[in-house]
C-alpha cells in the first residue's frame, strides 16, 4: 500500500516542516531585541601627513594617522540566536565637497564562545585614513563603533553603539621623514 519511497517522503516533509516552525520560533523570539551596548572610544596622537596617492592620478592627499583606545563588553549582546558580531569603527567628518564622509578604520569578528570583553589601548588603525583631497587638517572627526548581528535565524541587524568620541586633527602637516610639524602653507 505505502511504498518505502512514499514513507520516506512523508518523513522528510514532516521533518522540514518542524524545522521551519522551529526556525521561525527562534526568529520571532529575538525579533524585538535591540542589541545595544556602550563603548568607550578614544583617539590618541592624531596627526596629518600630506602624501602622494599611488593611484592613476598620483595627486597629493591627506593621510590621517592615529591610535585607538577601545573598551567594551559585548557579552550581553550574545543570546541563543546570535552566531557572531561584526564590529567596525567608523570615522565621520565633513568637507566642502561632501556633507558626510565615512571611513572604516578598524574591524573585528567576535564569534559566540570567544572572549567578548574587548579592551585595546593605543592600537594602530587597521585601515588607512585617506581623505580624497586636503581636508583633514583642523577637521573635526567623530569616531563611532557599529556592529552587525549575524543571527542563526532572522534578519541581519545593523546597530550603532552608545558612545562616541570626537577629536580635531592638527592644523599642520607632519612630514614622513621627521616628526616635526610642517607649516600649513608648504606643500
Q: CA dist 185 to 70, 88, 94, 136, 172, Å?
A: 35, 35, 22, 14, 9
| Residue-level pLDDT at 33 | 82
Q: Other C-beta atoms within 10 Å of 136: how many?
A: 26
CA distance 116 to 158: 18
More confident residue, 17 or 182: 17
Residue 179 has pLDDT above 60, yes or no: no
Q: Show the cell assigned to 24.
A: 521561525
Q: Are 104 and 85 a contacting pair, CB within 8 Å?
A: no
Q: Distance between terminal CA atoms of the chain? A: 89
Give pLDDT tens digits for 52-104: 877 667 788 899 999 999 999 999 999 888 999 999 999 999 999 889 999 99
pLDDT digits (tens, 9 = 90+) for 135-168: 899 999 999 999 999 998 888 889 999 999 999 9
For the record, the C-alpha cell of 107 comes out as 574591524
The pTM is what?
Answer: 0.81
Fold of 34-182: Immunoglobulin-like (2.60.40)
Contacts of 114 (CB under 8 A, 6+ apart): none
Write down the pLDDT at residue 55: 67
Give residue limits of the domains in the chain.
1-32, 34-182
Position 187 pLDDT exceeds 60: no
Amino acid at each position: 500500500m505505502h511504498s518505502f519511497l512514499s514513507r520516506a517522503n512523508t518523513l522528510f516533509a514532516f521533518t522540514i516542516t518542524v524545522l521551519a516552525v522551529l526556525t521561525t520560533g527562534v526568529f520571532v523570539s529575538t525579533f524585538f531585541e535591540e542589541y545595544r551596548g556602550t563603548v568607550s572610544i578614544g583617539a590618541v596622537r592624531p596627526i596629518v601627513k600630506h602624501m602622494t596617492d599611488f593611484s592613476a592620478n598620483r595627486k597629493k592627499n591627506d593621510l590621517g594617522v592615529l591610535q585607538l583606545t577601545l573598551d567594551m563588553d559585548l557579552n550581553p549582546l550574545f543570546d541563543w540566536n546570535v552566531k557572531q558580531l561584526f564590529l567596525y569603527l567608523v570615522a565621520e567628518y565633513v568637507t566642502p565637497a561632501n556633507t558626510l564622509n565615512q571611513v572604516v578604520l578598524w574591524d573585528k569578528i567576535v564569534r559566540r564562545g570567544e572572549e567578548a570583553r574587548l579592551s585595546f589601548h593605543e592600537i594602530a588603525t587597521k585601515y588607512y585614513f585617506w581623505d580624497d583631497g586636503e581636508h583633514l587638517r583642523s577637521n573635526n572627526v567623530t569616531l563611532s563603533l557599529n556592529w552587525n548581528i549575524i543571527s542563526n535565524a532572522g534578519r541581519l541587524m545593523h546597530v550603532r553603539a552608545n558612545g562616541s568620541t570626537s577629536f580635531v586633527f592638527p592644523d599642520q602637516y607632519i612630514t614622513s621623514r621627521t616628526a616635526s610639524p610642517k607649516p600649513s602653507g608648504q606643500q
